[in-house]
Structure 1
Amino acid sequence: MQDYISRAEKVMQRIEQLAAISEDAEGVTRTFGTDAFLRGRDLVQSWMEAAGLSTRTDSIGNLCARLSSRNPAAKTFVIASHIDTVVNAGKFDGPLGVLMGLDLLEQLAQQTTDLPFHLELIAFSDEEGVRFHSTYLGSKVVAGSFDPSLLDRADAQGITLAQALAKMGADARRLAQDAIPAEQWLGYFEAHIEQGPVLWERHIPVAVVTAIAGQQRVELQWRGMAGHAGTVPMDMRQDALCAAAEFVLAAEQFGQANKEKIVATVGKLQVSHAASNVIPGEVICSLDLRSADAARLASAYEELRQLAQSIASRRRVQLGWNAVQQTAPVACAPALSQQLSQAIAGAGHEVVELVSGAGHDAVPISAVAPVTMLFIRCYKGISHNPLENVELADLAAAIEVSERFLMELKINN
């Protein structure tokens, strides 16, 4: 176990070094294509090359390291996560999976036995989608599902994705060539902090992910009539904020009533021309629905749409309901997940199965390859927050489990 502790300490040191590279001095912020992102990627690439791995960056900015089999016709097994962050992020969401993967490849690179498959470690460039309000830019390119229309999408400064890629030295014309064809995939493995409290509360270091919840995201626009706060009678108002507020609470109640199957969140509320003495005339809010059950996700979407319309009609305000994102639930590959469960049991841990409510790069990859994921216990389940943390013993356990999983993969292939 001491060997795994030592390896975990090295991974932790690298996590700290990478976290020190940020767009701001107060937290960890490395959004796609920024100078901080590029400096962070360069640092990870230097570690990969120091381990003797061949590296390259592709046309979307993904950083790839490869251990090749002597058999040129062998399939490719990918270990991956992302190195971009949300604004004011924690240190572990994404980079932990990349740097754990680097540890695994470092160990394998020292062995003389040949791999029966090509092993590729990918640090995806943009999973969080903060800068261009996108999702999975890096992994969609590798999966061959990148939408070229995204190249015209602009960030808050008016810089398009195509322009950002050009500034990074990437060639957008080669994006389609950076996909790994479906017939060349052996599988995909991603290690990630749980981003939930189950493992923390149960004092269990790791879990196997059985599925990734699908998502429906909506922007709602409530349009009433702005008016003077002192002169319009209460029963004659068309208050957009009150309508939105009623919907916020209704969405919460809906989620509570269906908590075994779905979660519902309103995370954004914007009052146009807000003033303390003005009845709000326009309010925009978000709705985020997630479920591992595709049918329940679809029905919840329709039920909440009808509920919102009912509130709008009763309160005499107009409702704009605009779908902005939809991803289907993803089931992890049973065979790979079974091997991962065996690795967890072999390391002496209880096998826990969890559904991920958060999205991961495994989602687009699942369209072309079997995927599996390992969750790692994190402090109180906190994520996307500077308080994000992983204990050394849990990281050591995750490294051991992952190595057992890879060794079994070698034997079976």
Structure 2
Amino acid sequence: MQQEYLARAERIMQRIQQLAAISEDADGVTRTFGTPAFLQGRALVQGWMQAAGLPTRLDGIGNLRARLESPNPAAKTFVLASHIDTVVNAGKFDGPLGVLMGLDLLENLIAQKAELPFHIELIAFSDEEGVRFHTTYLGSKVVAGSFEPAWFARPDAAGITLAQALETMGAEATQLATDAIPAADWLGYFEMHIEQGPVLWERNVPVALVTAIAGQQRVELTFRGMAGHAGTVPMNMRQDALCAAAEFVLTAEQFAQVHGRGLVATVGKLAISHAASNVIPGEVTCSLDLRSPDEQQLAQAYDYLRSHAETVAGHRNVALNWKPVQQTAPVTCDAGLNALLAQAIADSGHETIPLVSGAGHDAVPISFVAPATMLFIRCYQGISHNPLEDVELPDLAAAVAVADRFISELIIKNEELKMG
């Protein structure tokens, strides 16, 4: 049996490598939503799905969807999914691994001629990363029924709107409302994903149970002071926007360190307008990314840091523009599905490690309409969003075995419910 799982893992790995060879640039892996590289990669995955005998379709947002039907037309739908878009200069596994593991599970069920008590839909979401239009979870929000029509007008860096991009892709954006799976039709959702953190790597365990996904608050801050000559404006008369930003950045770091309990704060972008070595910075824009599995803690951190930014701006006599960019609430994974997945991990001979995901996943919007669970797979040194991202074959084989057992137990449980 172990050799069978290794063989299946090898096939998944081969597909990962083939997909990774399709990129917008030659040096890394970049397939952002709607680009020629994205469309080519999606077509490759669609070909694999069709070769397995699965009927496929492209929905109005460009999600690739395959379906294995139950003999019962009225049965509910269980979804296996992840995303196939990437960040810029990405790794090979973030997203595509979950899609290709899902395809492997369906291929195995087809080979077994399994009679399903529920439908299984495999979805390769078109845009989870939100790189092009800053629309995180775009693909999964359509499936969850939470797409906002105002997003059609969002432009990318070249001024192309989402509506125009969809037209270029040949997507039928008018059908988005019918692309959602109604809440009453969901049985559940299962996403397999690399951990994107170092816990499993350090503990040398191949898989983990995701118990929750941290909520997020993202903000763009602009400090506006007065540019001036570096040699002629006295220190006590300056309106230095960069010093204001620097004070804020350090406070954000210190606040998260002191309060802990899963709270993290990151300033990942800092832009100085008209920067020069002999000019006092007059305008600085920076980002703030706050995350916590505790909704109250997240709100308190947001309020404190906003108040602190206003205090810094007032003290340094600079203006502040605080612009919220994104907000998502923390998500708790479904207790019933997690119990089944935890049992599958234990029955496969692994320690059951519960983890909170600090990274966002498509399971977030789906969890508002369906029970959701996630399996994490160990990745090299916890590295992600980086060409060094990697998964070892034995870990992938172990994850396939766990996922196989989980789906089998889910089928048995639902057959029992149908009979009893």
Aligned to 1:344: 345
CA offset digits 1:14-58 (Å, max 9, x no partner): 000000000011110000000000000000011011111111111
Question: Could you tell me which residue of structure 2 aligns to residue 201 of structure 1?
Answer: 202
Structure 1 counterpart of 2:134, one-letter code = H
1:295, CA displacement in angstroms? 0.6
| Offset, 1:261 | 3.2
Partner of 1:371: 372
1:113 & 1:337 partners in 2: Cα distance?
Answer: 23
Provide the secondary structure at the position in 1 that maps to 2:112: coil
d(CA) in 2 for partners of 1:54 and 1:323? Answer: 41
Alignment-mate amino acid for residue 295 of structure 1: Q
- The answer for the alignment partner of 1:35 in structure 2 is 36
- CA–CA separation in structure 2 for the residues paired with 1:382 and 1:176: 37
Aligned to 1:81: 82
Quote the Cα distance in structure 2 between the aligned partners of 1:162 and 1:225: 39
**Larger CA deviation: 149-158 vs 310-319:** 310-319
Which structure 1 segments of 5+ residues have no match? Answer: none
Cα offset for 1:244?
0.3
Percent identity of paired positions between Structure 1 and Structure 2: 74
Partner of 1:67: 68
CA contact (8 A) 1:62 1:122 kept: yes
Instruction: Report what 1:139 is aligned to.
Output: 140
Alpha-carbon offset, residue 140 of structure 1 = 0.5
Determine the C-alpha separation between the residues in 2 that align with 1:91 and 1:259. Answer: 31
Q: Output the CA distance in 2 between the equivalents of 1:362 and 1:44.
A: 21
* Distance in 2, Cα, partners of 1:124 & 1:312: 41
The equivalent of 1:271 in structure 2 is 272
Counterpart for residue 236 of structure 1: 237
Question: In 1, distance between residues paired with 2:346 and 2:250?
Answer: 43
- 2:169 matched to 1:172? no
Tell me which amino acid in the other structure corresponds to 2:330: P
CA distance in 1, matches of 2:371, 2:65: 19
CA distance in 1 between counterparts of 2:390 and 2:262 reads 28
| Contact preservation (8 Å) 1:263, 1:291 | yes
- CA displacement, residues 68-113 of structure 1 (integer Å, 9 cap, x when unaligned): 0000000000000000000000000000000000000000011223
Q: What's 2:327 paired with?
A: 326
Q: Is the 8 A contact 1:261 1:296 kept in 2?
A: no
Deviations 1:297-348 (A, max 9, x none): 0011001111111211211111111111100001100000010000000000
The AA in structure 2 aligned to 1:264 is A
Question: For the residues of structure 2 that align with 1:110 and 1:339, how far apart are their CA atoms?
Answer: 23
User: What is the one-letter code of the residue matched to 2:18?
Assistant: Q
The alignment of Structure 1 onto Structure 2 pairs a total of residues equal to: 413
- Tell whether the 8 Å contact from 1:22 to 1:29 is kept in structure 2 after alignment: yes
Structure 1 residues 297-336: aligned runs within 5 Å: 297-336=298-337
Partner of 2:302, secondary structure, is: helix
Give the match's secondary structure for 1:320: strand
Which residue of the partner structure matches residue 58 of structure 2?
A: 57
- Give how far 1:172 is off: 1.0
Match of 1:148 in 2: 149
Cα shift readout 1:189-243 (whole Å, capped 9, x = no counterpart) = 0000001100000001000000000000111110111000010011111100011
Q: Distance in 1 between matches of 2:364 and 2:284?
A: 32
The CA distance in 2 between the partners of 1:359 and 1:109, in whole Å, is 32
Instruction: State the partner residue of 2:418.
Output: none
* Residue 130 (structure 2) pairs with residue 129 (structure 1): yes
Give the letter for the 1:140 counterpart: K
1:346-404 deviation digits (Å, cap 9, x = unpaired)? 00000000000011000110111000000000011111000000010110010000000
Deviation at 1:10, TM superposition (A): 0.5
Counterpart in the other structure of 1:185? 186
Give 2:250's aligned residue. 249
Q: Provide the C-alpha distance between the structure 2 equivalents of 1:343 and 1:171, rounded to a whole number of angstroms.
A: 40
Amino acid across the alignment from 1:59: G
The residue aligned with 2:48 is: 47
| CA deviations over 1:254-295 (Å, ceiling 9, x no partner) | 111122230000000000111111000000001000001001
In structure 2, runs of 5+ residues without a counterpart are 415-420
- 2 CA distance for matches of 1:204 and 1:48? 30
Letter in 2 for 1:88: N
Deviations 1:128-167 (A, max 9, x none): 0000011111101100100011011111111111111111
Q: Which residue of the partner structure matches residue 111 of structure 2?
A: 110
User: Residue 312 of structure 2 aligns to which amino acid in structure 1?
Assistant: I
SS of the residue corresponding to residue 211 of structure 1 reads strand
TM-score (norm 1): 0.99
1:226 lines up with 2:227 in the alignment: yes
Question: Which residue in 2 is equivalent to 1:361?
Answer: 362
**Separation in structure 1 between the aligned mates of residue 410 and residue 185 of structure 2, nearest angstrom:** 16
